[in-house]
Structure 1
Amino acid sequence: MPPLPDLILEPLVRAALAEDLGTSGDITTRTVIPAGTRYGARIVAREAGVASGMQLAAIAFRLVDPALALRILCPDGQAFAAGDTLAEVEGCAAAILSAERVALNFAGRLSGIATMTAAFVAETRGTQARITCTRKTTPGLRLVEKQAVRHGGGFSHRFGLSDAILIKDNHIAAAGGIRPVLRACKAHASHMMRVEIEVDRLDQLAEVLEEGGADVVLLDNMDAATLREAVAMTGGRLVLEASGNMRLERIAEVAATGVDYISVGALTHSARTLDLGLDF
């Protein structure tokens, strides 16, 4: 996928650098590195994965010192092996050291998300199912975490509450049932707005199909047999999304039921940070 404009990403990186540098800057580097010292360094993968966050790492180095010479060897979305060099940077040693942790934090965290996503996507091969993330993201980092999912071959669910109508179980309870919420959507929602409704039983799905007014049905916490029955009941009339307890070991079985999407909150809330290092 094409990179986002640096202008959009810079505020995230600036905030991270300001948090790290504080009010006095990098006092360790300033104390022990002679002024004018120049060096070269590499970002190296300690394990295999899929790159993400390299654009943010580059921004971190440039913000600390625009004179640094930086070369990205493994762009976002590209797979790499353990021991591969992902980027090279050369110039003021103090600047490299001051930007190092922020650059690696972004690249390691986001590459972890992309790598986990790629593993889930691999389990759907040969089916129509797409892996998608959710709003279970780190506050303030949703944009780049969802971008990392895309780098891993996944897709994004709605970005925020203002993107689409997603009627969850608590909405149904508070509004008085499935039919009232769907009728409210038909009466008030823009014709440009997609509507998704969550069900966890087949009788609820039957009610949605009878009432109409939804574009997508979220099949929550159903086993594979029930998902297959839901697909058969729907007959292609609505988009179906499976969710709830979507562990890697059951993705192939879920994808084979014929659902269109599988949403996995763990992609952004539980991905392990990938081990990347900066070597002088």
Structure 2
Amino acid sequence: MPELPEVETTRRGIEPFVLGRRVVRLLVRNPRLRWRVPAVLGRELAGETIRAVSRRAKYLLIVTGAGTVILHLGMSGSLRVVPATDPPGKFDHVDIVLDDGRCLRLRDPRRFGAVLWTRAAPLSHKLLAHLGPEPFDAAFSGAYLHRATRNRARAIRDFLLDSRMVAGIGNIYANEALHAAGIRPTRAAGRLTRADCDALARTLRATLERAIRAGGTTLRDFRASDGNPGYFQLSLAVYGREGEPCLRCGTAIRLRRLGSRSAFYCPKCQA
């Protein structure tokens, strides 16, 4: 599913085209997404000017004077700016039509995405209020990780996937950052030393920064706002590379199932 780098890539891609534009109307072809598109959204948005396009973890926030659209791309969604006259495809469920003849179009084949609305401060919304700090936040550091992981028996990979602890980290980037930090994904979070936590905080930020520069990762059907795939998968060190040689030491990469998700690691480089 689109993770923080893919969502940030999308945000940067659409922002120049929608910022300052007035919404003419909302076209909802299929409201049955993960949660039903609110029936009032068309009335609320019509005539409003888009003041900001921001992101919180894996959520996009389209801010207007009346309120904020909260967008989630789900498992397979994408947002593109296209001419409003372009015929929609089978999975193009929602258009936010703008005053310059273009629209922001949500494509979501699996319909696990969301288009929601709030008049309140968006960060107080129930989907966002519980989220922990992101790796780019000032509050996120090795010291934070060390405090948060004390007495935690769960695997560090699973700890990183808990959005209440660290927001925006998905499985791909957790695996990659742990390899870069030399930490095995199965190690109990509470066993990490302060030095481990310092290293992990650095590699999480660096991994996400590299992924954003590469436009994210396309493993199945992610596409950026211009329709291009992400290219970070070309530099993956461990994820999806079971049996292939570690790029650092040559040892075969191993796969371990943690819960319902795959954890990839080098048995020599990661302790």
TM-score after normalising by structure 1:
0.25
Higher RCO (C-alpha 8 Å, min separation 6): 1
Give 1 or 2: higher helix fraction: 1
TM-score after normalising by structure 2:
0.26
